[in-house]
Amino acid sequence: MKAILFPGQGAQFRGMGKDLFSHYRALTEQASDILGYSIEKLCVDDAEGKLRMTQYTQPALYVVNAMGFYRRRDEGLDPPAYLAGHSLGEYNALLAAEAFDFETGLRLVKRRGELMGAARNGGMAAVIGIDELRLAELLRDNRLDAIDMANFNTLSQIVIAGPQQEIQRAEQILTAHKIRCAVLNVSGAFHSRCMKDAQLAFGDFVSGHAFGSLRIPVIANVSARPYEDGAVADTLSRQIASSVRWCDSIRYLMGAGCKEFVEIGGTVLTRMVDEIRRTATPLKVHEEQAAAAAVTPAAAAPAAPAAPAKLTPHTLGSALFRQRYGIRHSYVSGAMYRGIAAPALVVRMGKAGMLGYFGTGGLSLAEIEKDIHPSAEVCCDPLDDHGFFRMFFPHGLKLPGIGIRIRCEDVGKPRHRQSAHFCIVDALEPHRE
């Protein structure tokens, strides 16, 4: 299953689209008429240095993305199962899904770029090597309450947005904590509460347009879920002042069965997707689909009240949690510092059908390896019908990006009359950009 992706602002460069304009001359002329300037000269030459300005960047990317998609389509690219775009790129995804035509999309993007380009005194910064919870904690502890998380690009790459002075202060604080923070060359705090005025103005503008039914599902930035019928105008309006949930969007596509991701006109999103696929788990979308299908239609006769379900240790807690982690009971224990939550606890929890964490924070890799091996020897009581016992050992070093790779191997038939498996755990070095 395949998904096609479209990049957004930040992917522009002088010379982009050079090999496309001559092949799509009618679209080039139409775009120039709508915009009031030569789109080809802007993208190819950029003699006046306007390509980096939001009101010019967004229409330019929309046009080049559209032509790039048309060329791939004309060359025989098979229709995808899903479409998605990062921020501005979502307009190209909707164009490819036939929610609107090329002209309508360009007029929307032109107005969007004007409104967002008019925003002043805002800033953005990319924070790398830290997860959402830790970043939120640092912002809260340092009273950086005016800053929002604008883009969740990967599990360890988040873009923050807010007033310029607060962004500069955040950079100093994060750098002092040895966290990479790069201030971006933008004039506005996009995808944050600072864009509320632009959102309201764009909402008035977009409400005057009609949209068709999507021929292909498009994943929305604001929800990381497919667009709902009849919600294009509202979703595009909300997107301006809402976080771009790109990481969860890709996780949704992974959970939907997408194995192939094709980026139009760049490699920025491809690198993000590669990182997400290495470090994040798919979102299990079939539970949501089943729940939606089970909703009683409004026109149906109301059902008789069901008798309360009997509570047992097996039914307490989240069924989705049990299904995702392959456990029998919705209980978690462990994760205490320096091995206080020891391997023996993890094994006992696992054999009882519950989730346990080995607390490796503060331990050396040698200590972790020593503690893991004894536990592997006793993990031969299969937890499920597939015949293996799942164990995860996150390492608690202060360096970001430390991970654990786990693989299960058949070790024959010791003691039990069925095949047993054990986990081999390899510590991964921190990912460095």
Query: One of 86, 191, 329, 421 is an active-site residue; which one?
Result: 191
Which residues lie below 8 Å from residue 271, measured CB to CB, with a gap of 6+?
none
Cα–Cα distances in angstroms (integers) from residue 130 to residues 20, 142, 207, 256, 280, in the given order: 39, 16, 39, 27, 14
What is the DSSP secondary-structure string of 232-283? HHHHHHHHTTS-B-HHHHHHHHHHTT--EEEESS-SHHHHHHHHHHHH-PPP
| One-letter amino acid of 362 | G
Distance separating alpha carbons of residues 313 and 303, to the nearest angstrom: 28
Contacts 24+ apart (CB under 8 A), 402-407: 402/427, 402/428, 402/429, 402/430, 403/279, 403/428, 404/428
Active site residue 431: no
Active site residue 249: no
Secondary structure (3-state) at 160: strand
Query: Containing H/E element for 216?
Result: none
**Edge-to-edge strands of the sheet including 157-163?**
148-154, 157-163, 122-128, 180-183
Query: One of 86, 87, 243, 330 is an active-site residue; which one?
Result: 87
**Edge-to-edge strands of the sheet including 218-219?**
218-219, 82-85, 2-6, 260-263
Known catalytic residues are: 87, 191
